[in-house]
């Protein structure tokens, strides 16, 4: 006879406990345990994959033959870029994002593009009926006869339909609605999400079918469920952006078949998502000319250089402890750079409130933006604007030195393409490459030198 046993599972890391605990010993988060019912002693859970089990033998790595797998490309170049050049057959990709951000719209457009290339596509919706999906497809202009739609949440039935249709591309929207009958927990629980993802991974690898699954996000912005879910899939994509703004950012945070931190820009239109091929112009189109505290930096997003504007506002504080606020950059980096400016340059910033923002809603996390932040702070504090055609690139050390950054040539070429006239960068980055003719590249060794060039007293 099967026995029912209660257990508590952390929905952040998957840690299991026989009793409820306020703090998880696995991830040290509070109030993350949820109750689940486990059935023991009954029939064993069976995998959907049948056939004789093959036992592999160890091989010498030098004797293993490999070949380049052809990727499935779509008409959206931005989508192909984020995935590293296209969709890899047999891959399992997880897409997360806030509700209403456009995940289903993006995947339905991708499905339509692949179906137009005579590739059968199976779109499985666990949250909408087939008629609701058809209404969205009509709005997006989807008319391909090779796009199949299924409203189902039972994983066994989904596996049977995949076997019957034999599609070249599968979309699961969303993984939190899919369930296995052998697992007694409710759909969306840690056990269900983990087991369903494991079976979908076996389906993708065995049949060579790329499967895209949509994952809900928590209020903190992370994909709901244990972190194990992100470890099981081949690629993790985040669809970011404000619901009340038109621009969306598709960011790759994990990719086994390409570089991470790749970024694709889309614009939400009435007829669907439209790709933005030159995001630097979008981020700089509303920049104020002659405003103090505004600088431009060339940041690398994966393999693409993107020019973004960094804004700073420095004002005298009205409280005992000055405020330090940052949007789009690490908030710990702001007081560090202000301390360097105060100690090495002599700016009295200890009684000033500081507000730093990256225009356009982009999040920057590389050290090459340090110099641009420091220059924008000094520009706002002195109330002296920087030159509108200057670019600042460099990492700032605690002794005030400017350290070299990676891929300086690509950054400078992007700046020259958009009409900037001067680049202030680390002096150690000037060797080994030829600068473009239509832009001046100046190397500096310290923050003081950069401020003397970029911000007048």
Q: Which of 172, 209, 207 is nearest to 193 (CA)?
A: 172
84 annotated to bind ligand: no
Best CA proximity match to 176, nearest among 209, 112, 224: 224
Main-chain phi, psi angles of 328, to 5 degrees: 95, -10
102 annotated ligand-binding residue: yes
Separation between Cα atoms, residue 342 and residue 348, nearest integer Å: 6
Q: Do you find a cis peptide bond into 174, omega within 30 degrees of 0? A: yes
Determine how β-strand 272-275 pairs with β-strand 263-269. Answer: antiparallel
SS3 of 12, please?
coil
CA dihedral 144, 210, 170, 269 (to 10 degrees): -60
User: In the structure encoding, which two tokens stand for residue 117, read together?
Assistant: 């290339």
Is there a binding annotation on residue 90?
Answer: no
Q: How far is residue 211's CA from residue 204's CA, in Å, rounded to a whole number?
A: 6
Residue 97 annotated as lining a ligand binding site: yes
Ligand-binding site membership of 103 (annotated): yes
Q: Is 168 annotated as a binding residue?
A: no
CB-CB contact of 244 with 131 (8 Å): no
Please check whether residue 26 is in contact with residue 9, taking contact to mean a CB–CB distance below 8 angstroms.
Answer: no
Is 100 within any annotated ligand binding site? yes
Numbered residues of the known binding site for ATP: 97-104
Numbered residues of the known binding site: 97-104
């Amino acid at each position: 006879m099967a026995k029912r046993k209660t257990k508590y599972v952390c929905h952040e890391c998957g840690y299991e406990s026989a009793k409820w605990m306020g703090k998880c010993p696995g991830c040290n988060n509070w109030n993350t345990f949820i109750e689940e019912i486990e059935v023991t002693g009954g029939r064993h859970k069976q995998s959907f994959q049948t056939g004789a089990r093959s036992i592999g033998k160890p091989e010498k790595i030098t004797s293993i033959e490999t070949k380049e797998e052809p990727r499935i490309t779509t008409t959206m170049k931005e989508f192909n870029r984020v995935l590293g050049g296209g969709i890899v057959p047999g891959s399992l990709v997880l897409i997360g994002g806030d509700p209403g951000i456009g995940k289903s719209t993006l995947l339905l457009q991708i499905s339509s593009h692949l179906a137009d290339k005579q590739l059968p596509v199976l779109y499985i919706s666990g949250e909408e009926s087939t008629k609701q999906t058809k209404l969205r497809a009509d709005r997006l202009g989807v008319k391909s006869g090779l796009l199949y739609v299924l409203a189902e949440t039972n994983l066994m039935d989904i596996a049977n339909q995949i076997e019957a249709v034999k599609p070249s591309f599968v979309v699961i929207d969303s993984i939190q609605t899919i369930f296995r009958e052998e697992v007694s927990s409710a759909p969306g629980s840690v056990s269900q999400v983990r087991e369903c993802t494991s079976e979908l991974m076996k389906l993708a690898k065995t049949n060579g079918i790329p499967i895209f699954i949509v994952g809900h996000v928590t209020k903190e912005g992370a994909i709901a469920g244990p972190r194990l879910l992100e470890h099981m899939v081949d690629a993790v994509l985040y669809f970011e952006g404000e619901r009340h703004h038109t621009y969306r950012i598709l960011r790759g945070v994990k990719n086994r078949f390409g570089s991470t931190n790749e970024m694709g820009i889309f614009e939400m239109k009435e007829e669907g998502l439209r790709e933005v091929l030159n995001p630097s112009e979008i981020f700089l189109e509303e920049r104020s000319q002659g405003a103090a505290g505004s600088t431009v930096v060339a940041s690398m997003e994966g393999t693409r250089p993107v020019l973004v504007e960094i804004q700073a506002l420095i004002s005298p504080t009205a409280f005992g402890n000055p405020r330090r606020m940052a949007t789009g950059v690490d908030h710990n980096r702001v007081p560090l750079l202000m301390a360097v400016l105060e100690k090495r340059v002599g700016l009295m910033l200890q009684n000033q409130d500081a507000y730093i923002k990256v225009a356009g809603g982009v999040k920057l996390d590389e050290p090459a933006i340090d110099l641009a932040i420091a220059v924008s702070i000094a520009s706002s504090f002195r109330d002296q604007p920087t030159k509108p055609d200057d670019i600042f690139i460099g990492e700032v050390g605690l002794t005030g030195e400017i350290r070299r950054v990676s891929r300086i040539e690509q950054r400078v070429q992007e700046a020259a393409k958009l009409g900037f006239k001067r680049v202030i960068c680390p002096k150690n980055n000037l060797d080994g490459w030829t600068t473009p003719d239509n832009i001046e590249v100046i190397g500096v060794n310290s923050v003081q030198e950069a401020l003397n060039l970029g911000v007048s007293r």
